[in-house]
Chains A and B, each alone.
Chain A
């Protein structure tokens, strides 16, 4: 087997590392802005795709596989990872797709189809309407369910095309925006609508199948979300009972078996305060937060995917050991509506600690652009118990030095140090319930920085001397 990794950033790096460990030859692909990105140098060979959007071109990827002599494709997450047409294009070209088959992807990846399957199997669902494309129909369903309701893209995930509607007045605009965002993200503007359950925890089950049997490897809790995108994830879930956990594992595995699921997938649930759970959706791919499961089970999920794709057996489910927490380091301004940030990484230093894993896709000197997702790296800490993992993650985040663009580093620290997180009182609304003001820097440090800069002449040439739009933006706050 020779594997082409049809992705970029931290996930391409993470997959390539496992391939190297398995002595499986690997091929990376890259677009123009990624010519010098870290994933390019981790593969045995690398092929250029061209324009920035070419990670989304099935044709270009299959062509690159053919040229390089790859026999299999790993899609990572995002891009074409949940696109059944891409699976078929790979198979038509004689390539093994390291993921589910096109049919199980269609059956579980589409929200309407997976809900129909869950209903058939007697798995509880959030009450809602499976068709809400038409604003009038959406309104009728919303009135019947009672506000607040959630509008969601039928064909996608990751929080894109999702809108909370608190009252009748908000429906028309939210419907329009959700449709637009769904269309832009998934080329599919079908919407569904469901009752908004709150407070609730977001708990998901990692499954792994071989087309016949499916095992549940463990659950993850990802309640802390901003704009419906996960920020901090942990395993095991902090406060769910053994019975709820068992019942969710069983439901997830049954759903997978019913779809003859192959490879890694995630079945997402909402768990309400009384411990009852509701099926939400299936992510038919490797997920961003898969490392927390890896750290408490010792199973390399990418390796298991590759083995299953080669006809190997499934790993056995193991009893979890300890606790793992992941924080997503994003190029965004958490204090100004999480606006994505672009710019050069001028200085980058990762700390080194026992029990800490850093899955990063960046290097010093790299230019971060808004062409792609804002995820820069995932910091994952393991501990014998939840509090040890939390403290380890906090100290690691304090030691990371990343200069040149604004990131959510200090925001992650605020979350991890908050009373709610310490106590495990984490719900999908926790993050939005209160303000998270930008933490001040001590005046001693600000004045030392100003003295430092005054003592050095301005650079005479190079990019640092060129005026950038930031100069004209004005109003930069001087650490007030």
Chain B
């Protein structure tokens, strides 16, 4: 961790930086952000967009999708519970479900693929 000096709008400012994975966390006047490496290619991104992943570690309380069913953008696919709160994971686009990566009652880790949409 360290501090770097940056001139913002003509004024010298101190910014906290910490390396993490292949990116960097920065904090400036109360705003914090992780700046990752450059974006991946559009094709790789489209492939990644097929997967609906667990945004946190938690327990699957409901699976509302089944392989082969058509789903609309915004439709709830999976309900996840963490810290006693429920989070609804919705479909990022119109399409159909190719496969499921979880079932009700499963404990899932951050990043786990819960639902894969057909390409």
- Contact flags (1/0) for A120-159 with B, using CB distance below 8 Å? 0000000000000000000000000000000000000000
| Given the contacts A442-B9, A452-B24, A403 and B16 also touching, CB distance less than 8 Å | yes
CB distance from A56 to the nearest CB of B (A): 11
Chain A positions within 8 Å of B, measured between CB atoms, are: 160, 177, 180-181, 184-185, 227, 336-337, 339-342, 346-347, 349, 369-370, 372-374, 397-404, 406-407, 409-410, 413, 439, 441-442, 444-446, 448-450, 452-453, 456, 458-459, 464-465, 467-476, 478-479
Contact A177 B16 (CB under 8 A): no
Stretch at the interface among B52-60, B67-75, B93-101: B52-60
B36 near A: Cβ within 8 Å? Answer: yes
- Chain A residue numbers with a CB within 8 Å of B61 are 180, 184
Contact A450 B86 (CB under 8 A): no
B residues 80-95 touching A (CB-CB < 8 Å) = 81-87
CB distance from B88 to the nearest CB of A (A): 9
Contact B111 A406 (CB under 8 A): no
Task: Output the residue of B7, B18, B49 with the most chain A CB within 10 A.
Answer: B18
Contact A445 B8 (CB under 8 A): yes
- Chain B residue numbers with a CB within 8 Å of A450 are 24, 35
Q: Select one of B16, B36, B58, B85 contacting A160, CB under 8 A.
A: B85
Interface of B, secondary structure class, is strand
**24 A-B pairs (CB sep. < 8 Å):** A160-B85, A181-B85, A184-B61, A340-B56, A342-B110, A346-B1, A403-B26, A406-B34, A407-B32, A409-B30, A409-B31, A410-B32, A442-B9, A448-B6, A448-B15, A450-B35, A453-B23, A469-B112, A470-B21, A471-B21, A474-B45, A474-B48, A475-B48, A478-B35
Chain B positions within 8 Å of A, measured between CB atoms, are: 1, 4, 6-9, 13, 15-36, 38-40, 44-45, 48-49, 53, 55-58, 61-62, 79, 81-87, 109-112
Q: Select one of A160, A398, A442, A478 contacting B30, CB under 8 A.
A: A398
| Given the contacts A346-B20, A347-B16, A401 and B27 also touching, CB distance less than 8 Å | yes
Contact A452 B33 (CB under 8 A): no
- Chain A residue numbers with a CB within 8 Å of B84 are 160, 181, 184-185
Q: Select one of B19, B55, B57, B79 contacting A453, CB under 8 A.
A: B19
- Chain B residue numbers with a CB within 8 Å of A372 are 83
Contact B87 A449 (CB under 8 A): no
- Chain A residue numbers with a CB within 8 Å of B36 are 476, 478
CB distance from A416 to the nearest CB of B (A): 10
Q: Give A407 to B35 CA distance when docked, in angstroms.
A: 15
Q: Give A467 to B37 CA distance when docked, in angstroms.
A: 14
- Chain B residue numbers with a CB within 8 Å of A449 are 4, 15, 17, 24, 26, 35
Number of A-B contacts (CB under 8 A): 160
Contact B27 A402 (CB under 8 A): yes
Closest to A459 in B: B19
Q: Give A180 to B84 CA distance when docked, in angstroms.
A: 10
Q: Give A250 to B85 CA distance when docked, in angstroms.
A: 35
Contact B27 A403 (CB under 8 A): yes
Contact A181 B86 (CB under 8 A): yes
- Chain A residue numbers with a CB within 8 Å of B30 are 397-400, 409-410, 413
Closest to B3 in A: A401
CB distance from A460 to the nearest CB of B (A): 12
- Chain B residue numbers with a CB within 8 Å of A339 are 55-56, 87
- Chain B residue numbers with a CB within 8 Å of A473 are 53, 111
- Chain B residue numbers with a CB within 8 Å of A413 are 30-31
Q: Give A404 to B21 CA distance when docked, in angstroms.
A: 10
Q: Select one of A347, A370, A456 contacting B56, CB under 8 A.
A: A370
- The list of the 10 closest CB pairs from A to B, nearest first, reads A469-B111, A403-B25, A476-B36, A398-B30, A410-B31, A347-B1, A185-B84, A474-B48, A346-B18, A448-B6
Closest to A186 in B: B84
Q: Give A339 to B110 CA distance when docked, in angstroms.
A: 12
Contact B26 A470 (CB under 8 A): no
Closest to A336 in B: B55
CB distance from B69 to the nearest CB of A (A): 18
